[in-house]
Amino acid sequence: MARAAAVCLFTAHFLGCIIVCRQDSTNNRPRDQSTVSESSRRFRTEFLEDWPQTPGAPYFDPSTPENVTGLVGHPVTLLCKVKNLQNRTVSWVRHRDIHLLTVGRYTYTSDQRFEAQHKPRSEEWALRIRSPQRRDSGQYECQISTTPPIGHAVHLNIVEPETEIMGGPDLFIYAGSTINLTCIVRHTPEPPNTINWTHRGKTINFDSTRGGISLVTEKGIHSSSRLLVQSARTTDAGTYQCAPDNAQSATARVHVLTGETPAAMQGSAQWASSFDLQTLISIASVIYYLIV
C-alpha cells in the first residue's frame, strides 16, 4: 500500500511538472525558480518519508535462536531472522556433510523431510524438518549471500521421550519398610495424561483391602509419578511397571528382605569369594615359579 501511494505521488508530481512546463511554454515566460524548488522539496520530503531506505549491509537479528531442541517424529523449525537483506538470498546449510538444503524459498535436497519456509515481506527464513530423527542432531547454518558470505549457526538437538524408575532395575527393601518407586518421564511433547502402574502384570488397585498404597503425580517439563507401598511384605516383591500414555514404559524389580540375604545375593557373594580365592592362588603360583 505504501509503495502504491508513493508511485501515485511520483506520477502526479511528474505530470504536474509537464503541465506547468507546457503552460510556461505556451505563455512564453520563464517559470519562477522558487516554485520549482518548493515543489522539489515537497516531493523529496513526502516521497522519501513514506518509503524510507535502510542503509548498510545485511545482518542477523540478535533474537535469532542459537539452540533448538526437538522431539523424534515431531516437526521442528529452525528460524533465521535477517535485517536489511536487500537483493541478497538466504540459504540453509548442514555442517555435518556441508550439504546445501535450501536457497531462498526453494529446497535443494532430495530428502523430502526438509522444507524452506518464508512469507513475503517477512524477515524470517525458516528451515522445517518433518519427522526428525536422532541423526538429524548437529549444527546448521543460515547464510546470507554477501561477499564473503556471512552465517549464523544453530545447534539442533533431537531427543526421544524416555521413562525411568529411579534406583532400578533392582531395588532391595526390608520387610515392614515403605516401598518408594519414583518414575520420571522426560522429553515428551506435553505432560502425559496418565501414568499407569502395574505389579506382576496386573494394574495396581489403590482401593484394595491391603491398604497403604498411594500415588503422587507431578506434571511438568519432567513429569514424575511416585508409588508408595507401606509396610512392605514378601507378596509385594516382584516386577513393577510404570507406563505413561505418551512414552515407553519402564520396569523395576523389587526384592523384599526378611532378615536373610536373598538367594541371588548369596550366589553372587559366594561367586565373588571363590573368584578372589582362585585369583590369589594363581598369582601365588606364578610368583613361586618365577622365584624357583
Note whether residue 12 is domain-resident: yes
Q: List phi, psi (to 5°) of 16.
A: -60, -40
Average pLDDT rounded to a whole number, residues 188-204: 93
Note whether residue 242 is domain-resident: yes
Return the DSSP state at 51: S
| 230 shares a domain with 218 | yes
Q: List phi, psi (to 5°) of 251.
A: -130, 160
Note whether residue 87 is domain-resident: yes
- Examine residue 169 and say whether the peptide bond preceding it is cis (omega within 30 degrees of 0): yes
| 107 shares a domain with 82 | yes
| 169 shares a domain with 138 | no
Residue 287 pLDDT exceeds 80 = no
**Residue-range definition of the domain harbouring residue 211:** 162-257
Note whether residue 277 is domain-resident: no
Share of the chain above pLDDT 70, in %: 70
Torsion of CA 272, 278, 284, 288, to 10 degrees: -170
Note whether residue 269 is domain-resident: no
pLDDT in tens, 119-166: 999 999 999 999 999 999 999 999 999 999 999 999 999 999 999 999
| 247 shares a domain with 180 | yes
Domain boundary residue, one of 28, 50, 72: 50
For cell 524548488, name the residue.
37
pLDDT of the residue at 92: 98
Contact 251, 201 (CB under 8 A): no
Note whether residue 168 is domain-resident: yes
| 185 shares a domain with 222 | yes
Contact 242, 165 (CB under 8 A): yes
| 115 shares a domain with 71 | yes
Residue 202 pLDDT exceeds 60 = yes
| 249 shares a domain with 212 | yes
| 67 shares a domain with 139 | yes
Contact 116, 132 (CB under 8 A): no
pLDDT of the residue at 283: 55
pLDDT of the residue at 188: 87
| 103 shares a domain with 44 | no
Spatial distance between the Cα atoms of 225 and 34, rounded to a whole number of angstroms: 84
Domain boundary residue, one of 116, 136, 159: 159
Note whether residue 289 is domain-resident: no
Q: List phi, psi (to 5°) of 237.
A: -70, 160
pLDDT in tens, 217-276: 999 889 999 999 999 999 999 999 999 998 999 999 999 998 765 544 433 333 333 334
Share of the chain above pLDDT 90, in %: 62
| 143 shares a domain with 98 | yes
pLDDT of the residue at 35: 41
Q: Tell me the pLDDT band of 175, cut-offs 50, 70 and 90.
A: very high
The CATH number that applies at residue 246 is 2.60.40.10
Note whether residue 227 is domain-resident: yes
Compute the Cα dihedral for 176, 177, 178, 179 and give only its sign.
Answer: negative
Spatial distance between the Cα atoms of 169 and 184, rounded to a whole number of angstroms: 14
pLDDT in tens, 10-25: 343 333 433 333 344 3
| 215 shares a domain with 152 | no
Whole-number CA gyration radius for the chain: 37
| 203 shares a domain with 235 | yes
Domain count, the chain: 3
Comparison of pLDDT for 16 and 183, the residue scoring more: 183
pLDDT in tens, 52-94: 334 579 999 999 899 999 999 999 999 999 999 989 999 999 9
